Amino acid sequence: MKLILLACLPVVLFGQPDAQSIIDKSIKVHGGKRYLKKSFQFEFRDKSYSYENDGNNYLYTRAFTKDDQHIEDKLSNSSFERTINNQPTRLSTKQSTSYSNSVNSVIYFAMLPHFLNDPAVNKKYLGKTRIKDQQYHKIQVSFDQDGGGTDHDDIYIYWINSMSYHLDYLAYSFHVNGGGVRFRSAYNRRIIDGITFQDYINYKGDKNIPPEQMDELFSQQKLKELSRIELKNIRSF
């Protein structure tokens, strides 16, 4: 009997997929170490964004025109600054936080799943599920308060295709502006200079429904399309 139990022990220990290894594979499929070597520029909703990262330092920018004024935002490891017509602008703490969060959010989603190995990220494997006859690993991501940003209490769910390891769906809950839940379905996947980019259909869910249940509502066609997340004119530099 002891021999039988010992023989079965590895199955018990290693039968459950590991969230970290799944995320590692997904990041590798989407671009891997190229995220740390490449710089990109793209347009999103009439604004121009850029992403630069050398592995230790990053610089994200956003540029747009409003009321005939050229506005440029720069977010780095250590600071945020806004210039208007190339002149530095004094900002309140509230303004600086709001603008930097806005820039960071666009870059974060554009470069997923690259950021899912940040130090403040906590991963939890929720099991396997099926969406549109495809099997997915379902992974929950939460954040430490230290290093997790102002929205560290938000919860994200990622559906990683068990065959291709592409990130096909994600959902998240948020608490700002009254809170809510969103579900995103990826489409228009393309590879540019070794990095996978994709657009998303953005769906709105009942804020009382946990994000981990949004795949069920999506499969039942019970979610309402809210917007499209489309990146245009992507190029490396």
pLDDT of residue 15: 63
Place of tokens 């709001």: 98
What is the DSSP track for the chain?
-HHHHHHHHHHHHHSSPPHHHHHHHHHHHHTGGGGGT--EEEEETTEEEEEEE-SS-EEEEEEEEETTEEEEEEEESS-EEEEETTEE----HHHHHHHHHHHHHHHHHHTTTGGGGSTTEEEEEEEEEEETTEEEEEEEEEE-STTS-TTTT-EEEEEEETTT--EEEEEEEE-GGG-EEEEEEEEEEEEETTEEEEEEEEEEE-TTS-GGGHHHHHHTT--EEEEEE--EEEEE-
pLDDT of residue 54: 81
18 Cα distance to chain centroid: 20
Q: Which two tokens stand for residue 27?
A: 């990041």
pLDDT of residue 11: 41
Domain layout of the chain by residue ranges: 18-236
Distance, CA of 145 to CA of 152 (rounded, Å)? 6
Provide the CATH topology of domain 18-236.
Answer: outer membrane lipoprotein receptor (LolB), chain A (2.50.20)
Angle at 223 between CA 221 and CA 224, to 5 degrees: 120
Q: Say if CB 30 and CB 195 are below 8 A apart.
A: yes
Q: Which two tokens stand for residue 157?
A: 């769910």
Distances from the Cα of 163 to the Cα of 22, 24, 160, 220, angstroms:
11, 14, 9, 23
pLDDT of residue 2: 40
Whole-structure pTM value: 0.87
pLDDT by 10s per residue, the chain, length 237: 444 443 444 444 456 789 999 999 999 999 999 999 899 999 999 999 999 988 778 999 999 999 999 999 999 998 999 999 999 999 999 999 999 999 999 999 999 999 999 999 999 999 999 999 999 999 999 988 765 455 557 899 999 999 999 999 999 998 877 788 999 999 999 999 999 999 999 999 888 899 999 999 999 999 999 999 999 999 999
Phi and psi dihedrals of 126, rounded to 5? -105, 0
* CA distance from start to end of the chain: 64
pLDDT of residue 148: 47
Distance, CA of 160 to CA of 138 (rounded, Å)? 7
Q: Say if CB 107 and CB 60 are below 8 A apart.
A: yes
